[in-house]
A = this chain, B = another copy of it.
Amino acid sequence: MKYAFAKRVRHLQSSAVREILKVVSEGNVISFAGGLPDEDLFPMEGIKEAFEKVFSSGKKSLQYIETEGYRPLREILIERMKKKGISGYSADEVLLTTGSQQAIDLFSKVFFNPGDIVLTENPTYLAALQVFESYEAHVIGVESDEYGMLPDDLEAKIKRYRPKCIYVVPTFSNPAGKVWSLERRRLLLKLAQKYHVVIFEDDPYGDIHFHKDEQYWPIAALDEGTHVLYTSTFSKTAVPALRTGWIVGPHQIIRIMSQAKQANDLHSNSLAQQALYYLCRDFDLDGHIDKLIDVYYARMTMMLNELEKANLPGLSYVVPKGGMFFWIELEEGMNTTEMLPKAVKKGVAYVPGAPFYVGRGKENALRLNFTHSTPEKIQKGMALLTAVVKEESRDCKLLE
Contacts and interface: CB of A to CB of B under 8 A. Distances in A.
Interface stretch (A77-85, A138-146, A255-263, A287-295): A255-263
Contacts of A135: 6
Given A7-B113, A51-B51, A241-B270, A134 B263 contact: yes
A269 interface: yes
A269 B266 contact: no
A102 to B, nearest CB: 4
B63 A105 contact: no
The 3 A-B pairs of least Cβ separation, nearest first, read A269-B269, A62-B239, A98-B265
B42 A105 contact: no
Nearest to A129: B263
A109 B8 contact: yes
A64 interface: yes
Contacts of A267: 243
B42 A1 contact: no
13 contacts: A6-B110, A6-B113, A6-B116, A7-B113, A34-B64, A48-B55, A64-B235, A64-B240, A130-B263, A131-B263, A134-B263, A241-B269, A241-B271
Chain A interface residue bracket vs B: 35 or more
Give the number of copies in the complex. Answer: 2
Contacts of A39: 59-60, 62-63
Contacts of A34: 64
Interface stretch (A11-19, A213-221, A322-330, A392-400): A11-19
B240 A110 contact: no
Given A6-B109, A6-B116, A9-B260, 13 more contacts: A1-B227, A1-B250, A4-B164, A5-B110, A12-B256, A39-B60, A42-B63, A62-B241, A99-B266, A102-B265, A130-B262, A241-B269, A272-B272
Contact of A134 (B12, B111, B260): B260
A105 B242 contact: no
Contacts of A240: 62-64
A144 B198 CA distance: 47
A61 interface: yes
A269 B13 contact: no
Nearest to A8: B109
A345 to B, nearest CB: 24
A73 to B, nearest CB: 13
A127 B241 contact: no
A112 interface: yes
A253 interface: yes
Given A105-B263, A263-B130, A271-B241, A44 B15 contact: no
A150 interface: no
Interface string A44-64: 100110010001000111111
Given A227-B1, A271-B272, A263 B12 contact: yes
A253 to B, nearest CB: 6
Interface in A302-319: none
A14 B127 CA distance: 29
A127 B1 CA distance: 28
A40 interface: yes
Nearest to A244: B269
A240 to B, nearest CB: 4
B12 A260 contact: yes
A124 interface: no
A65 interface: yes
A36 interface: yes
A242 B262 contact: no
A250 to B, nearest CB: 7
A390 B264 CA distance: 39
Nearest to A164: B4
